[in-house]
Amino acid sequence: MQKTLVIDPGKCTGCKQCEMACSYVKEGTFNPSKSRIRVFDFHTEARFVPYTCTQCDDAWCQQACPVDAITTDPVSGVKQVHDNLCVGCKVCTIACPFGTINYNVSTGKVIKCDHCGGDPECVKACPTQAIVYSDAEQAGFDKMRQWAAKTDNAPQTTA
């Protein structure tokens, strides 16, 4: 069963614990600029939106890589960057339409979310459960249910 990160921006408080956990586990430092997940702060609306690689089925970053440094794990479906193959050309960062693959100046390689090998640190660090790791087949089901409940115009019955 393939899993995916499901993000609910309505639950995000902007604490950035996900960024800190990610950067620490992946880079050994508490540095949000080295995180594979980012929390966007919309000041004027007082909203926060966590964002990371969506693991596209038809991944443009993977197709653009001239040295095939980005592969798809056959079991999880996660796109992974292989540091030993990456030459740091940044073509994948240009190809990604979502801007979720980034260049790490310290290493000269690109970085992107790899779901921490199936145990995402950002999920464990999120105190409000704005980020959860769930079955990819069911990822949009809860949102569909919520939207259906909002748009339900049937008369409500009381028992």
Q: How far apart are CA 82 and CA 64, in angstroms?
A: 15
DSSP label of 93: H
Q: How far apart are CA 42 and CA 30, in angstroms?
A: 23
pTM of the model: 0.83
Q: How far apart are CA 108 and CA 136, in angstroms?
A: 32
Asked if residue 144 has pLDDT above 80, the reply is: no
Beta bridge partners of 59: none
> Which tokens is 90 given?
């940044």
Q: How many CB atoms lie within 10 A of CB 39?
A: 23
Which tens digits make up the pLDDT trace of 40-96? 999 888 899 999 999 999 999 999 999 999 999 999 999 999 999 999 999 999 999
Which tens digits make up the pLDDT trace of 23-52? 999 999 999 999 999 999 998 888 999 999
Q: What does residue 137 show for φ and ψ, rounded to 5 degrees?
A: -70, -30
Q: How many CB atoms lie within 10 A of CB 59?
A: 20
**Average model confidence (pLDDT) for the chain?**
91
Question: What was the pLDDT predicted at 136?
Answer: 74
Asked if residue 107 has pLDDT above 90, the reply is: yes
The CA–CA distances, whole Å, from 109 to 34, 52, 131 equal 12, 17, 26
Cα distance from N-terminal residue to C-terminal residue, the chain:
40
Domains of the chain (ranges; CATH) run 1-52+118-151 (3.30.70.20), 58-112 (3.30.70.20)
